[in-house]
Every structure is written in structure tokens, then in C-alpha cells.
């Protein structure tokens, strides 16, 4: 049985035709799902009997386990159990005055084993299918008064090792939800061959590459995949993407005090990325480390992050310091799940959403 957001337009048309419903009903259902982005259960424009029948025939793929909203009311996070096998995944909604961004998971767990990442610490469970990825966007959209304008693949998992499902989800977010490709960001730890494949796709999505260090010796300590795809190879694939798509590439850099935040390291990174080819060169997003249970480090102080960014700018590399949102609800990658699997009280500063 196909799930609600796994179903294509043709699937919905066929289902309603099979039930002998007039053609306009299929338009109406599709519109509710993808344009109005409302829950079918709440679609009072549909006759009650048809609505019940649809809810049965097109089941949801995700059951909420926990829903948390940060104090500011602008960041929400869900822990879901996939209805298929109860695998747990997370989704984050970040609301802004005029728009909203949804951060989706592409896998339950992750096999890449980055040392500072809660998802990496917990290991790999399975790939998500495209319906499970896309449903995260729609379920978050239903909870957001602001229209979802951006989707980022920065939740649990490495999207480029689940390539086909990730790409199918990107296409549905673009074609059915109507987001422009540049508002869909795929974040990768640096799976070079898959980055080249992405460069050849029809949609120019935004690419973010998780770098975290400027030398192979240092990066290997944080990102085990660096042994397979070292920095030069990752940058080469990123440059191919930038060239093919005419898009600036973003490099993510999780800043860890005493590990990768020294002025000397900023200089090496600045020189490395200052030479990055392509339109607009490289952009660096400095992410203060979110502490996790399995890794001892912590984030540098604000001024030292700003000094690091200033050194990068000295090399012609644009750099921004990401403001962490929702730290009071463990909004960083994999953290809610690891907390849930080792039952504890929710963080005191978080409250359950109504």
C-alpha cells in the first residue's frame, strides 16, 4: 500500500477513478495535500465518507513520538516512529516572520560515524524512502503558520549514501510542493562520487559540504570518511558541482574549542577555500558545536568564532556564524532520538507543544 505522501499524482488519480469519483475530486485531494498542505483528516471540504476512505487508503508513514517547541516558539522538533517498522527519526521546523525552513532526516541513524555527531554515535539503522522524507516536510508545514520556503537535508543521516530516495524526495519537493531547487539544500559529509552525480542532475539544488577541518590528518579525527575521500577529492567534486550548476557551495564547519578553532587553522582553511573556483567562491558556515553525550568537546566562545570568521574573510572567503536555534530542545542532529532511546526527562527549558 502506498503512503499518503509516497503516492504520486497518478496514484491518487487511479485510486479515485477506481472508486468512481468524479475527476475534480482528484484535483481537490491533490490540492489539499500539496498546495494547501493541510491534513486530510481536517479537510472539511471533502465529504465525510470520502475523507475517511482516503485516510484509510493513504496511511501516514510517520507517527509522532515527541513534539517539542523551544521557548521562543519559533523552533519545533519532532521525533517520529516510522509506521512501517518503528524506526525513529527527527525533523526540525525553524520559523521566521515570513517563512519557514524544515530540516529533514534522510536515514534512520547514519553509518558515517562522525565523532561529534549524536546520529553518528548511534550507528546506522536503515535508509528512509522518498515518502518518509517528503512527509517530514508536509507534517512540519501543517504545524507552521508560515509557508515552508526552504528544505535542508541536515537532519539524521547522510543523504548522498541514500541517493535515489533523496533525489526522488528532492524532485517531489520541487515538482509537487513547488519549492525552487536553490531553496533545497543537500548537506553531505563528502561522498565525492555522489557529489559528481548530483552535479549532473536536472535540478540545481544548493550543496553544503561538511568540512570541519582543513588538513586530512585533522579531518580524519572527526570524519572517518575522510580516509576514503580526502579533502582534495571532496573539494574537486564540489568544484565540479559549482561549475556545472553555477552555484556557490557552502562549507559547514562545526567549531570545537581546542580542536579546530585556532587562528592558525583559520589561516589554513582560508588559504584552502580562498582558492576554491567558481561563481562566488566558497562560503563557510561556522556552527558552534552542540555538545553530545559521546564526545567531550564544546563550542568556542562567541568572540573567538567571530575572529575565526574574520580570518576567513581575509582570504576572500565569505563566512557566517550560525546562531544555534532550539538548543533547549536538543534540536541538533540526532540528539532527541539518543535522549529518547536512553530515557531521561526532557530538558528543563523545553516544554511539550500543546
Catalytic residues: 90, 333
In 143-262, alpha helices (H): 163-175, 192-199, 216-222, 231-245
- The least CB distance from residue 229 to ligand SF4, in Å, is 12
Site residues for ligand SAH, 206-225, by CB under 6 A, read 210
The yes or no reply on residue 119 touching ligand SF4 (CB under 6 A) is yes
- Answer whether 226's CB lies under 8 Å from 216's CB: yes
Beta bridge partners of 148: 100
- The least CB distance from residue 195 to ligand SAH, in Å, is 11
Distance CA 20, CA 271 (A): 65
Site residues for ligand SAH, 164-203, by CB under 6 A, read 187-189
**CB atoms near residue 174 (< 10 Å):** 18
Beta strand pairing call for 88-95 and 100-103? antiparallel
Beta bridge partners of 94: 75, 101
User: What length is written for the chain?
Assistant: 354
The yes or no reply on residue 93 touching ligand SAH (CB under 6 A) is no
The yes or no reply on residue 254 touching ligand SAH (CB under 6 A) is yes
- The least CB distance from residue 229 to ligand SAH, in Å, is 13
Helix (H) or strand (E) run with residue 251 in it = strand 249-255
The yes or no reply on residue 108 touching ligand SF4 (CB under 6 A) is no
The yes or no reply on residue 101 touching ligand SAH (CB under 6 A) is no
Exactly one of 26, 213, 332, 350 binds ligand SAH (CB under 6 A); which one? 332
**Whole-number Cα distances in Å, 123 to 44, 111, 192, 213:** 43, 5, 21, 22
Contact stretch for ligand SF4 (CB under 6 A) within 114-122, 239-247, 314-322, 345-353: 114-122
**Whole-number Cα distances in Å, 189 to 195, 260, 334:** 10, 17, 15
- The least CB distance from residue 339 to ligand SF4, in Å, is 16
The yes or no reply on residue 332 touching ligand SF4 (CB under 6 A) is no
Chain contacts with ligand SF4 (rule: CB under 6 A): 110, 112-114, 117, 119-120, 156-158, 189, 210, 333
Chain contacts with ligand SAH (rule: CB under 6 A): 116-117, 154, 158, 187-189, 210, 252, 254, 287, 289-290, 292, 332-333
Amino acid at each position: 500500500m502506498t503512503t499518503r505522501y509516497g503516492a504520486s499524482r497518478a496514484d491518487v488519480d487511479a485510486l479515485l477513478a477506481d472508486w468512481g469519483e468524479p475527476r475534480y475530486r482528484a484535483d481537490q485531494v491533490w490540492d489539499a495535500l500539496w498546495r494547501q498542505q493541510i491534513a486530510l483528516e481536517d479537510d472539511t471540504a471533502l465529504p465525510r465518507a470520502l475523507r475517511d476512505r482516503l485516510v484509510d487508503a493513504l496511511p501516514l508513514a510517520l507517527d509522532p513520538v515527541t513534539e517539542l517547541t523551544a521557548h521562543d516558539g519559533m523552533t519545533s522538533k519532532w521525533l517520529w516512529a516510522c509506521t512501517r517498522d518503528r524506526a525513529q527519526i527527527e525533523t526540525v521546523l525553524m520559523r521566521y516572520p515570513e517563512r519557514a525552513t524544515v530540516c529533514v532526516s534522510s536515514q534512520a541513524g547514519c553509518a558515517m560515524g562522525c565523532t561529534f555527531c549524536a546520529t553518528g554515535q548511534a550507528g546506522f539503522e536503515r535508509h528512509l524512502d522518498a515518502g518518509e522524507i517528503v512527509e517530514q516536510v508536509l507534517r512540519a508545514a501543517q504545524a507552521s503558520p508560515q509557508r515552508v520556503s526552504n528544505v535542508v537535508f541536515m537532519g539524521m543521516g547522510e543523504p548522498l549514501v541514500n541517493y535515489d530516495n533523496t533525489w526522488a524526495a528532492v524532485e517531489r519537493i520541487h515538482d509537487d510542493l513547488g519549492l525552487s531547487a536553490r531553496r533545497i539544500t543537500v548537506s553531505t559529509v563528502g561522498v565525492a562520487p555522489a557529489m559528481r552525480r548530483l552535479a549532473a542532475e536536472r535540478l540545481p539544488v544548493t550543496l553544503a559540504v561538511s568540512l570541519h577541518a582543513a588538513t586530512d590528518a585533522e579531518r580524519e579525527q572527526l570524519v572517518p570518511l575522510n580516509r576514503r575521500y580526502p579533502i582534495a577529492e571532496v573539494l574537486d567534486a564540489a568544484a565540479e558541482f559549482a561549475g556545472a550548476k553555477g552555484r556557490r557551495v557552502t562549507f559547514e564547519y562545526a567549531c570545537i574549542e581546542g580542536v579546530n578553532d585556532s587562528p592558525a587553522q583559520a589561516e589554513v582553511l582560508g588559504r584552502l577555500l580562498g582558492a576554491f573556483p567558481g561563481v562566488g567562491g566558497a562560503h563557510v558556515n561556522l556552527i558552534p558545536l552542540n555538545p553530545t553525550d559521546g564526545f567531550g568537546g564544546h563550542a568556542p566562545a562567541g568572540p573567538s568564532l567571530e575572529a575565526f570568521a574574520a580570518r576567513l574573510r581575509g582570504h576572500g572567503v565569505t563566512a557566517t556564524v550560525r546562531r544555534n536555534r532550539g538548543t533547549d530542545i536538543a534540536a541538533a542532529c540526532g540528539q532527541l532520538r539518543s535522549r529518547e532511546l536512553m530515557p531521561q526527562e526532557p530538558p528543563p527549558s523545553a516544554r511539550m507543544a500543546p
